[in-house]
Chains A and B, each alone.
Chain A
Amino acid sequence: MLALLRRFLISSWLVVALLLLWWKVSANSENYFWPPLSQIATQFKANWLFTNVVEDVIPSLKNLAIGYIIGAPCAVVVGAHLGLSEIAQKIFSPLVNFFRSIPGVALVPIFIMLFGIGDESRRVSIAVAVFFPTLIATVEAVRSSDAVLMDVSRSFRFSAFQSLWRVRVPSGAPMISSGLQVSLQVGFIVMIVSEMLGAFRGLGAFTVEAQQSFMIIDMWTGIIVLGILGYIFNVIFELVEKRALRWYRGQKGLTS
Chain B
Amino acid sequence: MTHPMRTGARLELKDVTKTYTGHGEDKHVLDRINCIVEPGEFLSIVGPSGVGKTTLLRLLTGLTPVTTGEILLDGKPVTSPPEDLAIVLQEYTRSLMPWLTVEKNIELPLKLKKIAKEERRERVQSAIIEVGLEGNDSRYPWQLSGGMQQRVAIARALASRPRILVMDEPFASVDAQTRLDLEDLVLKVRDDFGITTLLVTHDMDEAVYLADRVLVLTGKPAHVAAEIAVPLGYPRNQVETRAHPDFGHLRGEIYQLIRGKR
Contacts and interface: CB of A to CB of B under 8 A. Distances in A.
Are A and B direct contacts in the complex by CB distance below 8 Å? yes
Interface of A: 146, 148-149, 151-152, 154-159, 162, 166-167, 170-171, 173, 247-248, 250-251, 254-255
Contact of A157 (B80, B95, B143): B80
B91 interface: yes
B244 interface: no
Interface in B148-166: 160
Contacts of A247: 98-99, 140, 142
B95 A250 contact: no
A162 B112 contact: yes
A154 to B, nearest CB: 6
Nearest to B90: A148
6 contacts: A149-B95, A152-B87, A155-B81, A159-B112, A247-B99, A247-B140
Contact of A151 (B63, B112, B143): B63
B108 A166 contact: yes
A-B CB proximity, top 4 nearest: A148-B94, A156-B109, A251-B142, A247-B99
Contact of B99 (A155, A171, A254): A171
A149 B94 contact: yes
Interface in B214-238: none
Contacts of A251: 98, 140, 142
Nearest to A159: B112
Contacts of B201: none
A146 B99 CA distance: 14
B98 A154 contact: no
A240 B97 CA distance: 21
Given A149-B97, A167-B97, A170-B99, A157 B83 contact: yes
A156 B89 contact: no
A171 B81 contact: no
Nearest to B108: A166
A204 B225 CA distance: 78
Contacts of A255: 93, 142
Contacts of A254: 142-143
B108 A155 contact: no
B200 interface: no
B63 to A, nearest CB: 6
A63 B149 CA distance: 47
B61 interface: yes
A171 B89 CA distance: 18
Interface residues of B, number: 23
Nearest to A254: B142
Given A154-B80, A155-B85, A157-B83, A248 B99 contact: yes
A156 B98 contact: no
Given A247-B99, A247-B142, A156 B94 contact: no
Nearest to A251: B142
B45 interface: no
Given A154-B81, A155-B61, A157-B83, A148 B99 contact: no
B99 A156 contact: no
A157 B81 contact: yes
Contact of B160 (A146, A149, A156, A173): A156
User: B83, B93, B142 — which one has the most chain A CB atoms within 10 A of its CB?
Assistant: B142
B78 to A, nearest CB: 12
B109 A250 contact: no
A119 to B, nearest CB: 37
A149 B98 CA distance: 10
Nearest to A250: B142
A148 B89 contact: yes
Interface in B42-99: 61, 63, 80-81, 83, 85-87, 89, 91, 93-95, 97-99
Contacts of A162: 112
A108 B93 CA distance: 47
A37 B182 CA distance: 70
Given A166-B112, A250-B140, A251-B142, A155 B97 contact: no
Contacts of A156: 81, 86, 108-109, 112, 160
Contacts of B61: 155
Contacts of B81: 154-157
Given A156-B109, A157-B81, A250-B142, A170 B89 contact: no
B204 to A, nearest CB: 26
Given A148-B94, A167-B97, A247-B140, A158 B63 contact: no
